[in-house]
Structure 1
Amino acid sequence: MKISDTTRRQVENLLDFIDASPSPWHAVATCEEHLQAAGFSRLDETERWSLQAGDQRYVVRGGSAIIAFIVGRQPLTEAGLRLIGAHTDSPGLRIKPRPAEEAGGVVRLGVEVYGGPILATFADRDLSLAGRVNIRTADGFATRLTRFADPLLRLPNLAIHMNREVNENGLKFNKQTELPLLLGITEDGEKAEMRFRRPIADALGVDPADLLTWELNAYDTQKGTLWGANREFIADSQLDNLASCHAALSALLAAGQPGATCLCAFFDHEEVGSESAAGAGGSFVSDVIARLAGNAGLDAEDQRRMLARSFFISADMAHGWHPNFPAAYEPCHHALVNAGPVIKSNANQRYSTNAETAARFMALCDKAGVPCQQYAHRTDLGCGSTIGPIVAARLGIPSVDVGSPMWAMHSIRESAGVLDHGYMIAALSAAFAD
């Protein structure tokens, strides 16, 4: 298997991107850094926008969703929009508003399960905290990103001597009583809440009493890596779906001065249904598109002409065929790792793909010189969904659902193919050049 130096660099950049983004808020901040380095400037939703051809801009909503775009040279009514969507959130464990309790001299942190993680994979990992914290200020409050690089938390397994059937029945946790994360030992009569607050306050340089609220998740401190006989595979957390964010962002940054207006929309809360102001079910992308149209002087009729000429790619990771579990897959729909982007279809519209949009994406892959594959879920298994149907329905534009194949989706340590990431960047770049 030949892997080019370019693809190697792209994947190394992906691992750095993920490792810098242990929460949705960090993921948006990382995107901002990449965009600003490439000359993009930030817009504010509270201000009037003034846009012209060639402008490279982005806007953030709620700290965890971001839309970046390049205003194309061609009129919106003639070229339409080229949109790629992905999501910044991943399944996992979120810290509760008042999480700390003491048990046998040990401080535990209560958690909520966010989305559908494989809970067993969180056991015996080097976990820490990342997210955002609101602190008291003279003017009210300020929001700060925080991240602990060193392991701060752990979910130790129960010894096999007390769980003799774990290898036969699988590792299971009671979500209320057995998932709290161990933080440390209480010292000198310090209350559990203060034991939790103090490290955060020290990291932010404030008094513990000035911590008002937080949105924090447990993340795996182990950095991403390449593995395999030829280092042809990736292992990292949050490949679903930061790998798609990185691929789309890479394509946008390489777009130059496109003819059509090109837009990347990275939403939060996909893993829990997308119904939020920062989610795909909210108004974020339609608000940005309306402002693009307004700056171009389009009336209601021309806006509909613009949307009719647009195309949306929902980029979210796909299920790669697992050689150890062949019975889990639909015959004739084996999406192989390192064999190209996957077009995902579902007759019940869990994915937004139809025959026409699938053919259009196949043409883009041909243009980019990369292979592509097709995937459908087993009929007797429930199929996951994406932002694709949500955005397509709200905007009324043709849409396709695609993704790079991966293993262990929703594990704290997922795997994918090195070649596939390069293939996806090439295919999405072709979409912006279309």
Structure 2
Amino acid sequence: MRNYTQGLIDYIGAATSPIQAVSTSVSALEENGFEALLMSDNWKLSGGGKYYVRPYPSMLVCFTIGTTPYIQEGFRIITSHTDFPSFKIKPDPEITTHGYLKLNTEVYGGPILDSWFDRPISLAGQVVLRSDTVFKPKVVEIDFRDPIMVIPSLAIHFKRHDKKEAEKNPQEDLLPILKMVEDEFVNKDYLISVLAKKLACDVTDILDFDLYMYVTEKGQVIGLDQSFISAPRIDNLAMVYSSVTALIESSHYDGISMAACFDNEEIGSTSKQGADSDLLHQIIKRIGHSLNGSPEQIYRLLDQSFMISADGAHATHPNATTSCDITNFPVLNKGITIKISAKQNYATDSVTSGIFQQLCHKAEVPYQRFVNRSDIPGGKTLGPIATKYLPIKAVDVGVPMLAMHATRELMGVKDLEDIIKVFKVFYENKA
């Protein structure tokens, strides 16, 4: 059997921003015969085909088409998200303080701030360059790879008098250090000049950038019995990797199998590349039209479709057991987690939960349930957002994990293997 654990660790190591996450997935798809589509092209799809479309740099939709009339089977969709909590570099970010050159940043999502201290940090994302066509500037991906920054902790000796220690201020306490500089150093446009040198272009060619901080530490297998995966960005790159891998490895079923990887889930999904848009619905309609489906047939197709919204799930913390529900408490390596919410923060209902349970039985993997404590509001994930525009049956699931939103998160080796098994059964329609 393929070593999915090492595959995930390698994927996370390459997927250092949402943009790099999509590019790494695209490379795997192209290596396995998937054909690229452009939103601006006229799509000509056929039975037995394998395709992907990248509407925006940080969003990906890939799918396979069966060889029999697709209208009889519908879509099998797994959604996930390519983004993760981080810090984004602001424009004109250079700050000089007592000879230290720092960068000004903005918090992205909800990171555990303390986990960013004293880590080796790099930058990845994209740079926008001047072009001859105003509405089509050149966009270049960039990843420094090397640890070029650090956010040092305040020594404990000074914390005795620091009444604000419990509350970190990201504008003051979490600015990364790049280097030491002399008094005569001019910091304006320093980062732009570094980018220009790395891209071998002129400083004046750089119009703007999207750069995100990430820790450069590699993922690894840990535990006395090697049963845990400790790595950055598990939430939610583990589900991106699992859904795309399962799609690549699955045999074609008679309908259409799809993995849809959105951006901006960590900040509410309300963007053109997020789940809170009509873009996935548009893509599905375009697929139907390309296969000569009428609007009526497409509506019938959606009635036969099913969505799995895949995102990390909270496992019970052994040192904080009161943070979980008193009867529903997932743990690592004991099964895929079905997420349930009376507030409809998750798309799961009793019917879709039952469908997923039967998929687990077919795949011969265990499952668990997650429900928030009644005095904890909890968050919302992709399921109810995506189905607002694409009203099909859906379930929210994920692998249980600890330290969610820390720079290093923890999940189970067996859970990764199990969820890929379930995803493959789902895509192959063997239930």
Of 384, 388, 395, the residue aligned with 1:389 is 384
Alignment of 1:269-418 (within 5 A): 269-418=264-413
1:142 maps to what in 2? 138
Which amino acid is the alignment partner of residue 240 of structure 2? C
Taking structure 1 as reference, are residues 348 and 131 closer, same or farther at Cα in structure 2, changes over 3 Å only?
same
Q: Does 1:56 align with 2:50?
A: yes
4+ residue stretches of structure 1 with deviation over 6 A? none
1:196 maps to what in 2? 191
**TM-score after normalising by structure 1:** 0.95
1:33 maps to what in 2? 27
Shift of residue 105, structure 1, vs aligned partner: 1.9
Contact 1:186 1:192 in 2 (8 A): no
Taking structure 1 as reference, are residues 223 and 171 closer, same or farther at Cα in structure 2, changes over 3 Å only?
farther
Query: How far apart, in 1, do the equivalents of 2:255 and 2:374 lie?
Result: 39
Query: How far apart, in 2, do the equivalents of 1:62 and 1:307 lie?
Result: 25
Which amino acid is the alignment partner of residue 124 of structure 2? A
Contact 1:186 1:195 in 2 (8 A): no
Of 120, 124, 128, the residue aligned with 2:118 is 124
Q: How many aligned positions are there? A: 427
1:3 maps to what in 2? none
Range that drifts further, 205-214 or 409-418:
205-214
Instruction: Classify the secondary structure of the residue corresponding to 2:191.
Output: helix
Instruction: Classify the secondary structure of the residue corresponding to 1:219.
Output: strand
Deviation by residue 1:405-433 (Cα, 9 ceiling, x = unmatched): 00000001111000000000001111111
Identical pairs, percent:
36
Query: How far apart, in 1, do the equivalents of 2:96 and 2:151 lie?
Result: 15
Q: Does 1:83 align with 2:74?
A: no
Shift of residue 169, structure 1, vs aligned partner: 8.2
Which amino acid is the alignment partner of residue 155 of structure 1? I
Taking structure 1 as reference, are residues 326 and 414 closer, same or farther at Cα in structure 2, changes over 3 Å only?
same
Contact 1:201 1:207 in 2 (8 A): yes
Shift of residue 199, structure 1, vs aligned partner: 2.5
Range that drifts further, 148-157 or 69-78:
69-78
Shift of residue 171, structure 1, vs aligned partner: 4.6
Taking structure 1 as reference, are residues 231 and 427 closer, same or farther at Cα in structure 2, changes over 3 Å only?
same
Instruction: Classify the secondary structure of the residue corresponding to 1:330.
Output: coil
Which amino acid is the alignment partner of residue 208 of structure 2? T
Query: How far apart, in 1, do the equivalents of 2:91 and 2:48 lie?
Result: 44
- RMSD over aligned CA atoms reads 1.6
Query: How far apart, in 2, do the equivalents of 1:260 and 1:431 lie?
Result: 12
Query: How far apart, in 1, do the equivalents of 2:203 and 2:374 lie?
Result: 53
Which amino acid is the alignment partner of residue 365 of structure 1? C
Of 141, 150, 153, the residue aligned with 2:149 is 153
Query: How far apart, in 2, do the equivalents of 1:169 and 1:374 lie?
Result: 38
Contact 2:92 2:189 in 1 (8 A): no
Which amino acid is the alignment partner of residue 378 of structure 1? R
Of 5, 11, 14, the residue aligned with 2:5 is 11
Which amino acid is the alignment partner of residue 54 of structure 1? G
2:66 maps to what in 1? 72
1:111 maps to what in 2? 105
Query: How far apart, in 1, do the equivalents of 2:268 and 2:225 lie?
Result: 38
Q: Does 1:180 align with 2:179?
A: no
Q: Does 1:245 align with 2:240?
A: yes
Instruction: Classify the secondary structure of the residue corresponding to 1:384.
Output: coil
Shift of residue 282, structure 1, vs aligned partner: 1.6
Query: How far apart, in 1, do the equivalents of 2:352 and 2:418 lie?
Result: 19
1:236 maps to what in 2? 231
Query: How far apart, in 2, do the equivalents of 1:137 and 1:45 lie?
Result: 21
Shift of residue 392, structure 1, vs aligned partner: 1.4
Contact 2:71 2:255 in 1 (8 A): no
Taking structure 1 as reference, are residues 417 and 169 closer, same or farther at Cα in structure 2, changes over 3 Å only?
farther
**TM-score after normalising by structure 2:** 0.96
Shift of residue 187, structure 1, vs aligned partner: 4.3
Deviation by residue 1:266-305 (Cα, 9 ceiling, x = unmatched): 0000011111111111222111100111012222221111
Q: Does 1:162 align with 2:169?
A: no
Which amino acid is the alignment partner of residue 202 of structure 2? D
> Can you give the 5+ residue segments of structure 2 that lack an aligned partner in the other structure?
none
Query: How far apart, in 2, do the equivalents of 1:338 and 1:99 lie?
Result: 43
Query: How far apart, in 2, do the equivalents of 1:175 and 1:102 lie?
Result: 17
Query: How far apart, in 2, do the equivalents of 1:250 and 1:328 lie?
Result: 33
Query: How far apart, in 2, do the equivalents of 1:227 and 1:128 lie?
Result: 24
2:421 maps to what in 1? 426
Shift of residue 165, structure 1, vs aligned partner: 7.2
Which amino acid is the alignment partner of residue 149 of structure 1? R
Which amino acid is the alignment partner of residue 310 of structure 2? A
Query: How far apart, in 2, do the equivalents of 1:149 and 1:401 lie?
Result: 34
1:257 maps to what in 2? 252
Contact 1:73 1:261 in 2 (8 A): no
Which amino acid is the alignment partner of residue 96 of structure 2? E
Contact 1:86 1:266 in 2 (8 A): yes
Query: How far apart, in 2, do the equivalents of 1:148 and 1:368 lie?
Result: 41
